[in-house]
Amino acid sequence: MTRPLLTRRAFGAVSALSAAGVFAPAMVRAQVDGAALGSVTIAVGGQGVLYHLPLALADQLGYFRAEGLDVTVRDFSAGALALQAVQDGVADVCAGAFEHTIRQQVRGQAYRSLVVQGRAPQLALGVSLRSLPAYKDLADLGGRRLGVSSVGSSTHLAASLVLARAGLGPRDVAFVGVGSGMAAMNALRSGQVHALCHADPIMTLLEQKADTRIAGDMRSLKAAQEMFGGAMPASCLYAPQAFLQKHAAQAQALANGIVHALKWLQTAGPADIVKAVPAGYLMGDRGLYLAAFSRVRETYSTHGMMPDDGAATALRVLSRVHPELADFKVELTRTYTNDFVRKARQKFNV
């Protein structure tokens, strides 16, 4: 029996894949079928923090590649800087706090969340007992230096909200941009700042050193509900509306990858987490990283959808810190879309 000949196109594709020899099966199918979607660059503020874990997992586990998408993740020291990278054309999509989409609309820019990673900010405000040994309550921070990743980032907003509960306004402290990760931790421990608002695992590490007292905690669903009065969407992938319209297939692949990672997280054990993330994220202490992960695990979205009251809660929270927003009619339906996530949920049965 004569074996059917490969077409020239199929033969070329198979030859290229055979030469490479190390492609994931799903990526092989994408290449052979001619369904590769090209490349996308994602800007992220603090890639190694647990706040962005679903993105890290989707990248490390090959879920974006399985969708035929070549993703490059560019790390910046703060969410506001990651957003700036998208505005400057250095990146296509941003991984960061949802409230940036609202603030950009006020500035006349159309940005939209396409998949939600977190349903609580996963942030904490810690006070250095080295710098303020007599610290008793938040009022003692008046006139002090408070570290945030950068002015305008989610850490800045969260710190402002915590201080407001103690009657302190944004001018009652000096906000200092200290970046993320080890740079932020060193800024606190060296006395550059008296307090720090940051994500885990940094805050758990500082807390365990017993020289930092947590003065405001937003790392659980209950704490976030009490602080914000509703479901507060946190980390998400968001992009210019023009990108979502022009590159809908790529946006769908991104949503698929994140939803796939969120599903994986639902059943992943400690050993699975440690194996999946880059070693550098563990900060040399697996136990500490897993303790921090356990603390925030419930705050990850289970499916990627925007919570029903999520956008409204974010606007209400922003308005507390920026009263001028009351003069602008924000169209919340234009700050997010669930369309890509709905298709991803059907694909992965989430």
List pLDDT tens digits, range 303-337: 999 999 999 999 999 998 888 887 899 999 999 99
Res. 22: pLDDT tops 70: no
Q: Is 271 helix (H, G, I), strand (E, B) or coil?
A: helix
Check residues 151 and 71 and name the one with the higher pLDDT: 71
Percent with pLDDT over 70 in the chain: 90
Give 38-69 pLDDT, tens digit per residue: 999 999 998 999 999 999 999 999 999 999 99
DSSP 6: P
How many other C-beta atoms are found inside a 10 Å radius of the C-beta of residue 236?
28
Decide if 152 contacts 50 (C-beta within 8 A).
no
Res. 29: pLDDT tops 70: no
Q: How confident is the model at residue 165 (pLDDT cuts 50, 70, 90)?
A: confident
Per-residue pLDDT at 16: 36
Q: What is the mean pLDDT of residues 151-177?
A: 91
Give the CATH number of domain 37-120+232-348.
3.40.190.10
Decide if 296 contacts 198 (C-beta within 8 A).
no
Per-residue pLDDT at 166: 87
DSSP string, 136-149: -SGGGGTT-EEEES
Res. 170: pLDDT tops 90: no
Residue type at position 132: L
- Average pLDDT across the chain, whole number: 89
Q: How confident is the model at residue 2 (pLDDT cuts 50, 70, 90)?
A: very low
Res. 23: pLDDT tops 60: no
Q: What is the mean pLDDT of residues 216-238?
A: 92
Fold of 123-218: D-Maltodextrin-Binding Protein; domain 2 (3.40.190)
Q: What is the mean pLDDT of residues 98-108?
A: 95
Cα 99 to Cα 334: distance, rounded to the nearest angstrom: 12
Res. 258: pLDDT tops 80: yes
Strand partners, 43: 74, 94
**Domain ranges for the chain:** 37-120+232-348, 123-218
Decide if 16 contacts 31 (C-beta within 8 A).
yes
Q: How confident is the model at residue 119 (pLDDT cuts 50, 70, 90)?
A: very high
Res. 13: pLDDT tops 80: no
Global confidence as pTM:
0.88
